[in-house]
Amino acid sequence: MSISRDDVLDWIQVTAGILKENRDYLIKLDAAIGDADHGANMDRGFKAVMGKLPELADKDIGTIFKTTGMTLLSTVGGAGGPLYGTLYLQMGMKSAGKMDLTLEDWIVALQAAVEGVVMRGKAELGDKTMVDALSPAVEALKEASSNGRSLSEALEYSAKAAEEGMTATIPWVAKKGRASYLGERSAGHQDPGATSSYLILQAAADTWKDC
């Protein structure tokens, strides 16, 4: 089983819808420890990506991801633009010219994406950032693959790991970004970046469950 170009386009559409639905929730999370703009920024960015989809209908997956990344880079405000832009740009580099992705292809693409985010944001596991959702998701994919799990099973394990990483951020003190300015007061709040990252990966699991 594999993820087709059309599956990738469907994922982006579903992601845009989920981020729109969760716009106010993400704003609320960010209001507690940030600038209260994460939900609005992500919604705006993916609305812009949706406007690009018609011209991507016949393109390869790498081009779809690269265009998504460049669009997010130019439309998502704050730190989110460079970080989420990097996420998709790195996926695009690893899937250049491909019209479908195997589980192994997806692991390679997502791992490169997370490494790019780590390099761009200088964040590590435990810093209370999007990395805390993304990194466990990659490790779950690898473990599922090595255990012979199907693509859909691996994606679900990945999303579950991202969710666990997201909720794990609640008691932590932020070490990066705007939230770090609060020091101990950042504890007790779920990180909005980890939350949007989880939502994106859950959208992949839901969209690609029949692949």
- Run means of pLDDT, 10 residues per run, the chain, 211 residues: 96 98 96 92 97 95 98 90 97 98 98 97 93 98 97 98 98 83 84 97 97 87
Name the residue ranges covered by the structural domains of the chain.
3-206
Query: In whole angstroms, how far apart are CA 142 and each of 62, 74, 139, 145?
Result: 21, 32, 5, 5
Q: Return the closest-CA partner of residue 39 out of 195, 167, 151.
A: 195
52 and 69 Cβ atoms separated by less than 8 Å: no
Write down the pLDDT at residue 156: 98
* Amino acid code (one letter) for 113: A
Which 8-state DSSP code applies to residue 174? P
Task: Note whether 42 and 196 are within 8 A (CB).
Answer: yes
Report the candidate in 148, 126, 146 with the shortest Cα–Cα distance to residue 135: 126
Homologous superfamily of 3-206: DhaL domain (1.25.40.340)
Confirm if 191 and 129 have CB atoms less than 8 A apart: yes
pLDDT given at position 3:
98
Give the Cα separation of 38 and 121 in Å (integer): 16
Q: How far is CA 80 from CA 45, 54, 113, 197, 205, in A?
A: 10, 25, 14, 11, 22
Q: What is the pLDDT of residue 13?
A: 98
pLDDT at position 158: 98
3-state secondary structure of 58: coil
Give residue 176's pLDDT. Answer: 76
* Cα distance between residue 171 and residue 194, in whole Å: 13
Predicted pLDDT at 8: 98
Q: Are 73 and 85 in contact (CB under 8 A)?
A: yes
Tokens 């993400």 sit at which residue? 26
**What's the whole-model pTM score?**
0.96
CA gap 169, 119 in Å, rounded: 20
Which pLDDT does position 88 carry in this prediction?
A: 98
| Planar angle of CA 187, 46, 64, nearest 5 degrees | 120
What is the torsion angle, in degrees rounded to the nearest 10, for the CA atoms of residue 153, residue 155, residue 159 and residue 161? 70
